[in-house]
């Protein structure tokens, strides 16, 4: 009787060690414990919370979500309890999580981001931050932080200076001409890792009313339809920017199964995040982790890290 070869599924994201490469994406998984009856947390590598802002936010007016072909549009508007209530009510639950926990930080100004990050920097339960740079900057006429490399560098640098001991992930927007430019700006400013991609801007129209379906007119497109574009962006950032810099990537965008996740890892992602699919099947994370491990065993890999960036061109 032979022993099965043990596959090393662990992932090193700078100072954070994940037991496997499967994480949750910010937004669809709330503050974690909303899904405790459906998700096997012991099979998750890490958790990323929904966006947190300085003050509580009710979000955008309804309708805030709509299903479209091969995906969905959402215009939730960063609805959340605000940083003070998050610390009081949610952090004690997050402290019970046996995995790295990252808080997605959002705001309208750099000062907003700093306020949230500074209030969390001494809390042991929080491993680090994921900066949501798709937010509109009110000081620059509503221009999203993530569309301007100068603003990316300024924001990331400010958080790096305020919280030097915390791990910093920058979540890149795909709504740019060249995502490698904003990726480079985030790395130059000191980001320890990059997650990509956030949602693509889109809209839906009610043809009977001839009005936008979403109350906010536009929303973020996610789901299987965006996977080919997200995958290509991960490949480009890995090959042109992050590989030589030694900066790990967290890939996301339409991942629904283990095969999707494996594609992202081959393209250059060290870890992956599941977002929209969690609304359909919150237990998918366990199957995806098991599927990655089975693939590694079948193709003779000793560790998941060997698969990262193994694309043959």
Burial of 58 (0-12, 13-18, 19+ CB in 10 A): exposed
Cis previous bond, 197, omega within 30 = yes
Nearest Cα neighbor of 72 from 207, 221, 201, 213 is 221
Pairing of strands 71-74, 218-222: antiparallel
- 120-153 in b/e burial notation, b at 16+ Cβ within 10 A? bbeeebbbbbbbbbbbebeeeeeebbbbbbebbb
The Cα–Cα gap between 244 and 144 comes to 28
135 classed as catalytic: yes
| CA angle in degrees (0–180, nearest 5) for 257-46-20 | 60
Tell me if residue 74 falls in helix, strand or coil.
strand
- 289-313 in b/e burial notation, b at 16+ Cβ within 10 A? bebbbebbeeeebeebbebbbeeee
Which residues are identified as catalytic?
Answer: 135
């Amino acid at each position: 009787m032979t022993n099965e070869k043990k596959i090393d599924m662990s992932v090193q994201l700078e100072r954070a060690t994940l037991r496997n490469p499967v994480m949750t994406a910010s937004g669809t998984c709330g503050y974690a414990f909303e899904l405790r009856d459906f998700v096997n947390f012991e099979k998750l590598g890490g958790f990323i919370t929904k966006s947190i802002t300085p003050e509580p936010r009710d979000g955008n007016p309804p309708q805030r979500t709509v299903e479209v072909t091969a995906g969905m549009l959402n215009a939730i508007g960063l609805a959340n309890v605000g940083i003070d209530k998050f610390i009081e009510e949610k952090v004690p639950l997050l402290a019970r999580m046996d995995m790295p926990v990252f808080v997605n930080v959002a705001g309208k100004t750099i000062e907003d981001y700093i306020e949230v990050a500074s209030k969390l920097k001494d809390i042991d339960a929080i491993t680090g931050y994921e900066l949501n740079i798709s937010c509109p900057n009110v000081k620059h006429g509503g221009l999203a932080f993530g569309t301007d490399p100068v603003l990316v560098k300024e924001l990331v640098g400010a958080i790096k200076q305020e919280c030097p001991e915390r791990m910093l992930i920058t979540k890149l927007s795909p709504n740019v001409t060249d995502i490698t430019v904003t990726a480079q700006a985030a790395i130059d400013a000191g980001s320890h890792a990059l997650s990509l991609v956030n949602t693509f801007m889109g809209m839906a129209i009610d043809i009977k009313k001839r009005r936008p379906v979403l109350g906010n007119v536009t929303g973020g497109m996610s789901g299987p339809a965006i996977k080919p574009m997200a995958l290509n962006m991960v490949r480009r950032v890995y090959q042109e920017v992050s590989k030589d810099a030694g900066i790990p990537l967290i890939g996301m965008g339409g991942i629904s199964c283990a095969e999707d996740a494996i594609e992202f890892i081959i393209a250059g992602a060290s870890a992956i995040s599941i977002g929209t699919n969690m609304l359909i099947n919150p237990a998918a994370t366990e199957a995806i982790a098991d599927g990655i491990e089975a693939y590694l065993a079948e193709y003779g890999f000793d560790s998941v890290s060997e698969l990262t960036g193994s694309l043959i061109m």
